[in-house]
Each structure stands twice: as C-alpha cells, then as structure tokens.
Structure 1
C-alpha cells in the first residue's frame, strides 16, 4: 500500500509539473509575442516588436512548442490515471521503451527551454544596457513598455525552464526505477514509469506508458 501511495503521488506530481510547464510556457510565448511599441522620431514611426530580435523569436517558438507538448503529455497521464485508478501492473519491454521515449523528450524540452531562455536573457540585457565599447546604446529608454512586456515574458520563461528541469529529473526517476534490483523483482512491485495503462487486475497484462 505504501508503494502504491508513493506511485500515485509521483503521478500527481508529474501531471502538476506538466501543467505548470504548459501554462508558464504559453504565458511566456504570449507575453513576448504580443509585446510591441511604436514611437515617432522626427515624423518617422518606429515599431519595436519581438521579431526584431532573433533570440526572442527562438524563445517564443521553443516555449510555444513546449507548452503544446506538455499539454498532450499531461492529458495522456491524466487519462491513464483515470483509467487505472493508480493501480499497478507488470512491466515489459514496451513499458521501458515508452519510458525511455518520455525521458528523452522531457530531457530535450528542458535543454531547449533553458538554452532559448538564456539566449533571450543575454540579448535582452544587451538591449537594455547597450554596449559602450561598441558604442551600442540601450533601447529600453526609448521603448519602455515593450521592454517591460518582454521582461514579464522572460520571468515566465525562466519559471517554465525550471519546471521543465524538475520534470526531466522526475522522468529520470520514473525511468531508472524500472531497473531497480536489476529487473529481478519487477513482477512483485508496482513501480513503473510515469503514466501506465492497462487493466490493473494483476494478471500481467498491464503496460506502462
């Protein structure tokens, strides 16, 4: 019973983290993508938008894709939990293959989000402070509203990246506990990868997803 209780807590934590990555990623992409400001200089209109900075374009694309991926995975996990009711099952080669697939995708999402966020932070810092050695001036004094909106988006992006890192660690835990004990006692425990599907009646027909 204790193992089953831990199993359900891990699944709930995974769904919560996936929803968090989805929400924060979508918020970051929306804030940055919708930020713009128009200024007039000597009768000439200049408009600042995220497409003017390639790092922000990468951030919007990466966080938008991560939000969609996390939403699909969260829905899959929630559906599996509803069908199974948190029960156990016997693991097999398909279980481990699915766990490896989820683990690899979660690792890739975490790396991409952190890389895109780091690039956007560096470019935004340069845009805010400028570079005196190269005689580049900061633009946030001219486009304050745009910079504030991008700053809010970057804060959400950092939070989404950290949640993705936690999710990647949880996926690693879900994967490598399948190999606990060298696979000798897999039929005697209810440990599994992140979200499992099957009938959960102990007849060996369960599968892990």
Structure 2
C-alpha cells in the first residue's frame, strides 16, 4: 500500500514512504533553509559592519564633533542583534549541511522545539532591532519640530547614508529570519502528523 503501512510475507510491518513528490518537496525545503541561513549570516555581518564601523567628523566653528553608532542606542542594539543573528545562522547552517551530508532525519521532538524556539526568538529580536533603528533613522533624517529635534542628517550625510545601507541589510535579515521561523515550524509540527516524522526528511 503506497504512503501507508503494509505487511510483508513474514507479517512484519513495512512502511512505504510517500513517493518522489514528497521527497522532492523535502529536498527543496532543506536547500531553502541552508540558503536562507547562509544569507542571514552574510547580511548580518554586512549590517553589523556597516553600522558598527560608521563614523563621521564634523567641524563646527573651532570644535570637532564625531558621530558614531554608539551615540544612538537603537544602532547599538542593531549591531548586536545582527552580530548574534549572523553567528547563530552560521552555527545552524553548518548543522543543516552536516545533516544533509549524513542523510540524518530529525525525529527528536525536544530538539525540534529548541530549534523552533530559537528561530522564533531570533526573528523577534531582528524585527525589533530593525524597527528601532528605522525609527531613529527617520528622526535623524526629518527631525521632530514639536520637540525641537534637529535634522542631524543635514550635518552628517555620509554617516546617515551608511546607516541607511546597514538598516536595509538588517531588514533583509529580519525578513529571512521570519521565513526561517516558518520553515522550522513546518519541520516541527510535521512530527505531530499521521506518520509522526517517519517519512520526514527535515533536520
């Protein structure tokens, strides 16, 4: 019987696994996860490097004022969050590649829950970091007349441009982390299906 349980001549249960289409989908999910984790790792490093190394000196009369990312707590949070996301994705990407090479299957529900929870947490952190940084960038670009906050990007245009590039990279990281969390949710909850992971090809 295809996709179910059969009985061999010796009355030993025999499992028949879904077919080529299921395996093809599982393979594509595996490849997509590896690609996304590598993408997060690269973009996270880029975002952290762009913002973390950004600075500009502005001379005002006889005084020199240097703008750094540490002057805005939201940018500090962005750098830390993307650095952590890059390191975490590198670790998980290596795990996925090793699992693919060994052909191992994730049947351990506690491990699946741990991966799912970590992916969810990283997605929330990445989204919070990019949202806070984007809000600070808007204030820097347009100011806030009601509170007499000036447009600092008029003075530090180079600094703001590079921060904007870092925020774009961080935004792509957050979107990729959300996608990864959906994949890990798929890998987890399929273990609770009718076959309970017997035909699962996820990690």
Q: Structure 2 unaligned segments of length 5 or more: list them.
A: 1-19
Q: Structure 1 unaligned segments of length 5 or more: list them.
A: 196-209
Q: How far, CA to CA, are the matches of 1:186 and 1:108 in structure 2? A: 25
CA contact (8 A) 1:90 1:190 kept: no
Match of 2:34 among 15, 27, 31: 15
- How much does 1:134 deviate? 1.1
Q: What residue is the counterpart of 2:78 in the other structure?
A: 59
Q: Which runs of 4+ in 1 moved over 6 A?
A: none
| Pairs within 5 Å for 1:1-209 | 1-84=20-103, 91=107, 95-181=108-194, 185-186=195-196, 189-192=198-201, 194-195=202-203
Q: TM-score, normalised by structure 2?
A: 0.87
- RCO comparison, higher one (Cα < 8 Å, 6+): 1
Q: How far, CA to CA, are the matches of 1:147 and 1:33 in structure 2? A: 13
Q: TM-score, normalised by structure 1?
A: 0.84
Pick the structure with greater CA Rg.
2
CA contact (8 A) 1:14 1:167 kept: yes
- Other structure's SS at 1:186 match: coil
- Other structure's SS at 2:193 match: helix
CA contact (8 A) 2:48 2:166 kept: yes
Q: How far, CA to CA, are the matches of 2:175 and 2:42 in structure 1? A: 13
- How much does 1:4 deviate? 2.0
